[in-house]
Amino acid sequence: MNFGRVSVLASNVFREVVRDRILYIIVFYALILAAALLLLPKFAASTEDKMFLDFGLAAMSLFSLIVAISVGTALINKEIEKRTVLVLIAKPLSRSELIVGKYFGFLAVLAVLIAAMTLIYLGFLQFRNIPLPIASIVIAVVFLFLQSSLITAVALTLGVFTNSLLATALTFAVYLIGNVTKDILQLNRLSSNSSIERITQALYLVLPDLSRLDLKNEAVYGLAALPDTMSLILNVGYGLMYIILLLVIAIFLFSRREF
């Protein structure tokens, strides 16, 4: 793999996604937080600070998810549907370089988007004089980026072999199931139905456990609620392992496609 060609492709993807005005979401996020800052005191005067902390992180997670799924599924699928993939693979660019370049180019956009929303979020907290659990917020945001990177890898992989609409629906399903598989597994262990338990165990083993990368609630209640350092490191390794595995699968499927 030629990393020079990968970096050139990644920079082109970054510029292309930015030109699509995807970063206007940053402005929308700021407007949403401003509206929440005005409205929350009317509904929860005594707990508005905690609610705003929670709302800001939840909105950041939602916008990151929308961008990761909508853009991630189109990274390769758009080139296939428009037949521009024929031009790309005709150049001295391998199919694995195309997958990796597209992925990391979009990750750069995702990093800029999440970093900008984080700065806006912290600015609103400072303006409202809400106590800043800064360390726990930063850790939660880092894990949010990791979770969004994993969802992007899922979206890209599904977009390699199916159309954009189906890939979007399947990626969203993976996100929903990935956040509840641990809870379903624990509930089914209490039941006597062994077949259902096997199905949920299979889902838990195959699909990523996204709850391990979700630290929003822990961030709201400060550092004391965060997992220990070793657990955080293991969860980072868990997320990276799934991302690498998904990229390998995407490269394998893409290399076997005929155009």
- Report which of 8, 57, 67, 66 is spatially closest to residue 33, judged by C-alpha positions: 57
Render the burial of 130-160: b for 16+ CB within 10 Å, e for the rest.
beebeebbebbbbbbbbbbbbbbbbbbbbbb
Q: At what angle do helices 48-72 and 24-43 cross, to 10 degrees?
A: 150
Least confident of 6-10, 56-60, 191-195, 250-254: 191-195
Q: What is the pTM of this model?
A: 0.89
Q: In this predicted model, what pLDDT tens digit does every residue of 24-61 receive, in sequence order?
A: 899 999 999 999 888 877 766 556 677 888 889 999 99
Q: In this predicted model, what pLDDT tens digit does every residue of 178-217 receive, in sequence order?
A: 888 776 666 666 666 666 667 767 777 788 888 889 888 8
* Residues of the domain holding 246: 3-255
Q: How many domains does the chain have?
A: 1
